Amino acid sequence: MLLDKLMIEEVSVMTRKIALITGGGDCPGINAFLASAVRRGVKEYGAEFVGVKNAFAGLASKDIEQNLVPLDWERVVGLENQSSTILESSRFNPFSPENEAAGYPEAIINNLRKLGISGVVGTGGNDTILSASRLERRGFPTTMAPKSIDNDVSGTDVMLGFRTAISFGAQAARSTADSARAHRRISIVEVMGRQAGWLALEIGVASGADLITIPERPVDLQELCSEVDKIYRERGYANLVVAEGTSISYDDPVLQKTLKESDVVRALLEETPEKDAFGNPKLGGISQILRRVLRLELGLKKIEEIRTTDLGFTLRGLKPLADDIILGVRFGIRAVDLLLGEGRSGYMVGNHGLEVREVPYQTALQPKTVNREDRELEALGVFISSTGVGAVTK
């Protein structure tokens, strides 16, 4: 019995080696999470940490040793203030039908066991959390923290990167507004947000945008153009913040009219969007379509009277604000406590008011879109079409 007990304790010590990964789009606050997880694990549990580059692509690699980044107390000093992620990233989906058939899930588990790793802790959005849940269902312990400037994961009020992106995005949008006023122009600022409009909503509100479009509220172009025309004629300038996933019916009469007049719009709509490893379309370009729609409908002589700014990836690689550093540190502590202190797997940590607590993966993976009432959204500047219907642009 004593020998058995000693063997169990020895295995317990030997298996306190944790792999850290960061998947999906990079954003501010990830490195603070990594640093916090390492410090907590080393100090409280005597754990060893190793970072794996390129998330699940790195975990599945035939030469996984080439993707390893040893992480100890000294190596994470000052890491909180660094932008992006030191572990790089990928959108590789090891659990797609073709990759499962190719044996990638088994390759990941074999690599982890070969390295003596007993658990995976990481950051990610919907797709990375989904992969972590599938790895966990195969018996390998995982915990995750949410990160995305889109703020579109459930089970948390806010995700890593969102607050920094809002602050910089609002500043950028305000600067375009000032320029539009000086030159008596229309300004359109495009931001990310494929299915959720949180980023466009908060950047628009914080920058004082005249109109905001979000994926959750389909747009009737005739009504939008009428509203922009009214603002432009009364003040001489107008400012719009639009989400990349803004929903417009392909059969919208105004869009069809613009298709006949504009080679650019025709080319944009005829081009089939590429899809990532999880089947999500890679969007972008709605501001260029709206620019030409507005010029035609408002009867403007020059396209230069409407300026567009696509913030896109600009908001991902920013140096994190204090809010995201603090959130990353708190997420790192809780994620490690769950796995090493409580022996619990299959959870995402999130913030709920003033608390950081965990939710099961299935809760985190529920869609999180802007679900406020139209009356409130209109007061904030969101454009609401009277019809309230529409289909995603072709």
CATH of the domain at 85: 3.40.50.450
Q: Tens of pLDDT along 185-228? A: 999 999 999 999 999 999 999 999 999 999 999 999 999 999 99
Question: What's the CA gap between 163 and 170, in Å, rounded?
Answer: 11
In a domain, 183, yes or no: yes
Burial class (CB in 10 A: 0-12, 13-18, 19+), 69: middle
In a domain, 390, yes or no: no
Please indicate, yes or no, whether residues 170 and 156 belong to a single structural domain of this protein. Answer: no
Question: What's the CA gap between 383 and 385, in Å, rounded?
Answer: 7
Tell me what pLDDT residue 16 has.
86
Q: What is the pTM of this model?
A: 0.90
3-class SS at 357? strand
Q: Please, are residues 54 and 351 in contact by the beta-carbon 8 Å criterion?
A: no
Question: What's the CA gap between 52 and 142, in Å, rounded?
Answer: 14
Question: What's the CA gap between 72 and 341, in Å, rounded?
Answer: 19
Domain count of the fold of the chain: 2
Please indicate, yes or no, whether residues 177 and 304 belong to a single structural domain of this protein. Answer: yes
Question: What's the CA gap between 156 and 352, in Å, rounded?
Answer: 6
Instruction: Find the CATH number of the domain harbouring 284.
Output: 3.40.50.460
Query: How much of the chain exceeds pLDDT 70, in percent?
Result: 91
Question: What's the CA gap between 22 and 25, in Å, rounded?
Answer: 9
Give every CB contact of residue 322 below 8 A, 6+ residues apart in sequence: none
Please indicate, yes or no, whether residues 33 and 144 belong to a single structural domain of this protein. Answer: yes
Annotated catalytic residue 150: yes
Tell me what pLDDT residue 285 has.
87
Please indicate, yes or no, whether residues 40 and 61 belong to a single structural domain of this protein. Answer: yes
Please indicate, yes or no, whether residues 120 and 185 belong to a single structural domain of this protein. Answer: no
Tell me what pLDDT residue 268 has.
85
Please indicate, yes or no, whether residues 205 and 305 belong to a single structural domain of this protein. Answer: yes
Please indicate, yes or no, whether residues 329 and 310 belong to a single structural domain of this protein. Answer: no
In a domain, 177, yes or no: yes
| Separation in Å, CA 268 to CA 72, 204, 241, 289 | 48, 25, 20, 8
Catalytic residue among 127, 150, 220, 324: 150
Please indicate, yes or no, whether residues 310 and 276 belong to a single structural domain of this protein. Answer: yes
Please indicate, yes or no, whether residues 178 and 290 belong to a single structural domain of this protein. Answer: yes
- The rounded mean pLDDT for the chain is 91
For residue 97, pLDDT beyond 80: yes
Q: How confident is the model at residue 43 (pLDDT cuts 50, 70, 90)?
A: very high
Please indicate, yes or no, whether residues 311 and 329 belong to a single structural domain of this protein. Answer: no
Instruction: Produce one character per residue of 90-106: b if its CB has 16 or more CB atoms within 10 Å, e if not.
Output: bbbbbbeeebeeeebbe
Q: Please, are residues 23 and 89 in contact by the beta-carbon 8 Å criterion?
A: yes
In a domain, 273, yes or no: yes
In a domain, 358, yes or no: no
Tell me what pLDDT residue 228 has.
98
In a domain, 1, yes or no: no
Q: Which two tokens stand for residue 120?
A: 């995976």
Give every CB contact of residue 186 below 8 A, 6+ residues apart in sequence: 180, 228, 232, 237, 238, 239, 240, 294, 305, 306, 307
Please indicate, yes or no, whether residues 324 and 214 belong to a single structural domain of this protein. Answer: no
Please indicate, yes or no, whether residues 184 and 307 belong to a single structural domain of this protein. Answer: yes
In a domain, 19, yes or no: yes
Q: Tens of pLDDT along 236-294? A: 999 999 999 999 999 999 999 999 999 888 888 887 655 455 444 445 589 999 999 99
In a domain, 190, yes or no: yes
Q: State the residue range of the domain holding 272.
A: 166-315+371-380
For residue 381, pLDDT beyond 80: yes
Tell me what pLDDT residue 266 has.
87
